[in-house]
A and B are shown apart, each in its own frame.
Chain A
Amino acid sequence: MNRMRLRGLIRKEFLQIMRDPSAIAIAVVLPFVLLLLFGYGVSLNARRVPLALVAPHSPQAQELLGGFDHSPYFVPRRYATMAAATHALVRRRVQGIVWLRSDFGRHVLARGNAGIGVFVNGVDANNAGLLEAYIRGVWLGWLSRQAQAQGSALSVPVTVEQRIWFNAALRSRNYLVPGLIAIVMTLIGALLTAQVVSREWERGTMEALMATPVSMADILLSKLIPYFVLGMAGMALSVAMAVWLFTVPLRGTLLVLFSASGLFLLVALGMGLLISTVAKNQFISATIAIVTTFLPAFILSGFIFDLNSMPWPVRLLTHIVAARYFVAILQTVFGAGDLWPVVLANAAALCVMAAFFLGLTWRLSRKRLD
């Protein structure tokens, strides 16, 4: 390795970046746009769910339904018959139905344990589960109002008092936005480098580079350093957006956050370089980049689907997805603070992966013309 040659190569790479501004767009504009879009767009907090109510006009029934009118979770729509409500549910106009039979009021007054029929559209199972919980909440509220009105205690033996740590309001954005940063950075890393080596091969400039006295390590480093700088700029922008735009509380320290990001970026760039070294064809390199980076980072990283819910063979497989470790660090540093056991274990895994990808790339890229 030669300092001066490396400097020259880095200069060349920077010039190439400046001439084709797409690399800067990828590193800075892309994270901004994607994070803006996804930060607002990706949410698991259902609000204003359209809900069908079918109920008689008795005061007891209307008192219960009032709970739905006042809840921020529902947009209630009243239907005269169950048939009409069912039609609306099948046509996806409402997500669920609350059905009180015509004798509801009489049963309530007689303490006859009236039934409240609740039907939810279970196609989106996750949303349906949340909807059930919201409906249960309205029902519990009604029960305690009834009990109060009669001057008796709530007739439920045990009630659960929930304390949600780290995210009391259960705002899904607080954990989704840090995860999104990992996804966006995965993309950026892969996009920035996946094609730079195969581009040299396809254009025939790799042969020209090889004819010069620079070593392979020089070539790889010269590709790594400029893109690392660009990637860290994108990372800083993403963190700033998460904290100020999406008001995600950052409980850990910036130092830990950026050290972990640097490590992760090394892995992402190393993977990109490896792909583009192995695939000397841009079509294959693009395909591999999409197949091995974005989709696994989206589905296998714990960004949205909980790793603990996966069957063990799949969970084992997630250990080769770098985004998994970064997501764990980000979610912890943002949500809970610098919890060292979590941070160090995942950072160690990232170190191993970075060494593996960069080492393998270096081994595989001999100065050789086949």
Chain B
Amino acid sequence: MWPRIRALVIKEFLALLRDKVARMTMIVPPLLQLVIFGYAATFNIRDIPYAVYDQDGGAASHELLARFEGSSFFRRKAVLTAERQIAPVIDDKRVLLVIHIGPQFSRDLLAHRPARIQVIIDGRNSNTAALAGNYVNEVVQGFDTEWAATHGWQAPPAQLVVRSWFNPDLLSRWFIVPGIIGLLTLVVTLLATGLSVARERESGTFDQLLVTPLGSAEILLGKSVPGFVIGLMEATVILVAAVFWFDVPFTGSLVALYLGLVVFLLSGIGIGLMISSMSVTQQQGALGVFLFMVPAVILSGFATPIANMPLAVQYLTYLDPLRYFLVILRGTFLQGDGAGVLGSQYAGLAALALASMTLAAWLFRHRMS
């Protein structure tokens, strides 16, 4: 049995990688994408463009605005002199926010009265708007603390002392780059397996395969191996790049990560083979890969938290292997997780792998006759 499978595996590798263009499209884009997406995919904002409309012009307002000038989060783009200038600069996206200081500002503060400033934020991208609002609050809070201390204001009864664990500077790159490992590995695995049966059907070699002494389980095994090997290799390369190029700390257990990777690859291959067995033409295979991959990526928690989804959609994500693997990746990278903590994630992946493999085998036999 083994020599037969070996021969089949060699044949599958050749079918997948013999063509130079096919080889390139399997290997180069994922690595390129890691680098580009690794830099592109961030929720952190720097150099927020802003404009100032200062009706006060007093010492206090100068002091406050100096803090914005000194912050690396903000970059002043314009100084406004009238209320009607606010709308155009925001509409054209020249600035993200306008800081408006009223004429009473310095007088209020010096008279020990609480003062207000108005911040007008472009809310078209609500997440950026919320983050920019947070940064404004942080700058103003820094000003408040100092002003209160130097001008004899009573300290508030309690202060917040905020710490974030596992990612002290809240760098979203640390969250996204491990996710890209899962994302690209899924794409490669699905592509390697999803079109493999249909390719044989279209070129007519499928019937030849059936008259060989190979059983259907053997055929599927032979088709799984290239996807597994390529996925494992690409994941490893991306992993190394994530740690050494993007400086994402890896604090957990490598064994726990690879255990997850193996089960993840198996479930990805199972789903790929399922799509492959169902489709008659390569076009259907490609469509199937697309139809699975797009929701699997968007609903995986890669960019937006699963906890924010309505319950029905949350249940649906249990069918998404990427969902579990992202937890494993982020856990082992940032939280220092070992295999023990991740038990339920492995279980979910294993269940998916088993179910999809079984279904693929059944579909394969069913479609054969």
- Which A residues fall within an 8 A CB radius of B? 22, 26, 30, 34, 37-38, 40-47, 49, 64, 89-92, 104, 107-108, 111, 113-130, 132-133, 135-136, 139, 142-143, 146, 153-168, 170-172, 174-176, 187, 191, 194-195, 199, 202, 279, 281-291, 294-295, 298-300, 302, 304-306, 308-311, 313-314, 317-318, 331-332, 335-336, 339, 341-342
Contact = CB atoms under 8 A, between A and B. Distances in A.
A113 B21 contact: no
Contact of B164 (A41, A119, A153, A289): A119
B129 A158 contact: no
Nearest to B330: A123
Nearest to B148: A157
A284 B127 CA distance: 37
B202 interface: yes
Contact of B29 (A124, A158, A291, A332): A291
28 contacts: A22-B283, A22-B284, A26-B287, A41-B310, A41-B313, A45-B126, A46-B308, A90-B341, A113-B156, A115-B159, A120-B165, A121-B166, A125-B171, A158-B140, A159-B114, A159-B115, A163-B120, A167-B124, A279-B21, A283-B282, A284-B25, A286-B191, A286-B282, A286-B285, A289-B290, A295-B33, A306-B45, A341-B92
Interface in B153-187: 153-168, 170-172, 174-175, 183, 187
B83 interface: no
A294 B156 CA distance: 51
B230 interface: no
A82 to B, nearest CB: 13
Q: Which of B147, B285, B308 has the most CB of A within 10 A?
A: B308
A129 B73 CA distance: 15
Interface in B263-288: 282-287
A298 B40 contact: no
Contacts of A119: 162-165
Contact size class for B? Answer: 35 or more
Interface in B175-234: 175, 183, 187, 191, 195, 199, 202
Contact of B124 (A135, A146, A336): A336
A120 B335 CA distance: 13
Interface of B: 19, 21-22, 25-26, 29, 33, 36-37, 39-47, 49, 64, 90-93, 96, 109, 113-131, 133-134, 136-137, 140, 143-144, 147-148, 151, 153-168, 170-172, 174-175, 183, 187, 191, 195, 199, 202, 282-287, 289-291, 293-295, 297-299, 303-305, 307-310, 312-313, 316, 327, 330, 334-335, 341
B172 A126 contact: yes
B126 to A, nearest CB: 4
Contacts of B286: 191, 194-195, 282, 285-286, 289
Contacts of B22: 281, 283-284, 287
Residue among A117, A161, A304, A306 with the highest chain B CB neighbour number at 10 A: A306
Given A44-B304, A287-B25, A163 B121 contact: yes
